[in-house]
Amino acid sequence: MSEKPFNLVIVGVGGQGIITMANVLASAAVAKDHNAIVAETHGLSQRGGTVIVHVRLGEAEAPLIMEGKADLLIALEATEALRYANYLAKGAPAIVDSRLLRPPLPNVEMPSLEEVYKALGEAGIRVFKTNAVEKAEELGNPQGANMYLLGYGLAVNGYGGYVDAPSIEETIRQKVRNPEANIKVFRAGYEDGLKARQ
């Protein structure tokens, strides 16, 4: 056990590209000769249900992160951050995108974005607010929100030092469709994350 593991939970809704995002990150760590474990959600929940993917970099053995032990939470849909905030360690930040997806059921009570951010803040979580979908759209890649947030996360706390921008970009080149367009949003996310951290 030389390397203290870095624990990341990525949450959202089936179909948002969360598995790809987790894979790029883990492959980049593996390319740098580190260990990685990614516990994914497949099957039923991919039909628009809630999704949580656990990513552990470094010498971790068990696939699931313990509640209260995640070093970072990235939510691709804002209300999903409410569902999984309990994974965060004390003082660990959350990157919460402004995207709100209403569950397509009759008569669902949907909190507003302001309420979501307020509740997370009141729980003592340092929240980074993003607009990944708009940013990705502006760069001509509406499907690229996941890569934007991947870049943003790297800027916010560096994923424990197991990866860096070049290793992630190389992995995007090898693993993702339309690599150049995705690298562009990844970089934009990274830049915005650096700014937000100051």
Partner 1 sequence: MAHREVLSEPGKRVLMLGNVAIARGALEYGIGFASAYPGTPSSEIVEALSYAARKLKRPYVEWSVNEKVALEAAYGAALSGVASLAAMKHVGVNVAADPLFSSAYTGVEAPFVVVSADDPGMHSSQNEQDNRWYGVHAYIPVVEPAGAQEAKRAVIEAYHISGKFHTPVILRSTTRIGHTRVPVETGEIDLEKLEPRGGFRKNIERYTLVPAHARKLRAELVEKWEEIAEWFSKHPLNEAKGPEDSSVLVVGVGLGYTYAREALRELGLDRKVRVLKIQTPVPLPSKLLLREAEGRDKVFFVEEGEPVVETLAKSSFYDEGIRARVAGKSNGYITRVGELTLDKVLPGLARFLGIDYSLPEKPRVNLSAPPRPPVLCPGCPYRAVFYALRRAVGKARIKPVYTGDIGCYSLGVLPPFEMQDTIVEMGGSIGLANGMAHVAKDQIPIAIIGDSTFFHAGMPGLANAVYNKAPMLVVVLDNRTTAMTGHQPHPGVGVTAMGEETVELDPRRVAEAYGIEYVALTNAFDIKGQEKVFYEALEYVKKEQKPALVVARGACILLAIANARKAGVRYTVYTVDEDKCIACGLCYKAFNCPAIIPKENGKVYIDPLLCTGCGECAQICPVNAFKPVEEPDPEWIKIMATAKPR
Q: Which chain residues interact with partner 1 by CB under 8 A?
A: 1, 13-14, 22-23, 26-27, 30, 33, 35-50, 60-64, 66-69, 79-80, 82-83, 85-90, 102-106, 108-111, 115-116, 119-120, 122-125, 142
CA angle 134, 73, 153 (to 5 degrees): 55
Three-state SS for 44? helix
- Nearer to partner 1 by Cβ, of 35 and 98: the residue is 35
Report in angstroms how near the CB of residue 34 gets to partner 1 at its nearest. 9
151 close to 190: Cβ distance less than 8 angstroms: yes
The H helix count followed by the E strand count for the chain is 7, 6
- Nearer to partner 1 by Cβ, of 60 and 155: the residue is 60
| Neighbour tally for 13: CB within 10 Å | 19
Three-state SS for 159? helix
- Nearer to partner 1 by Cβ, of 39 and 196: the residue is 39
Helices (H), the chain: 18-31, 78-84, 113-122, 132-138, 145-157, 165-175, 179-197
- Nearer to partner 1 by Cβ, of 42 and 195: the residue is 42
- Nearer to partner 1 by Cβ, of 177 and 195: the residue is 177
- Nearer to partner 1 by Cβ, of 23 and 146: the residue is 23
Beta bridge partners of 37: 56
Report in angstroms how near the CB of residue 194 gets to partner 1 at its nearest. 25
Sign of the dihedral defined by the CA atoms of residues 181, 186, 191, 195, in that order: positive
Report in angstroms how near the CB of residue 154 gets to partner 1 at its nearest. 18
Report in angstroms how near the CB of residue 6 gets to partner 1 at its nearest. 15
Report in angstroms how near the CB of residue 155 gets to partner 1 at its nearest. 22
Report in angstroms how near the CB of residue 13 gets to partner 1 at its nearest. 7
Using CA atoms, how far residue 84 sits from 10, 120, 126, 145, in Å, is 9, 11, 15, 20
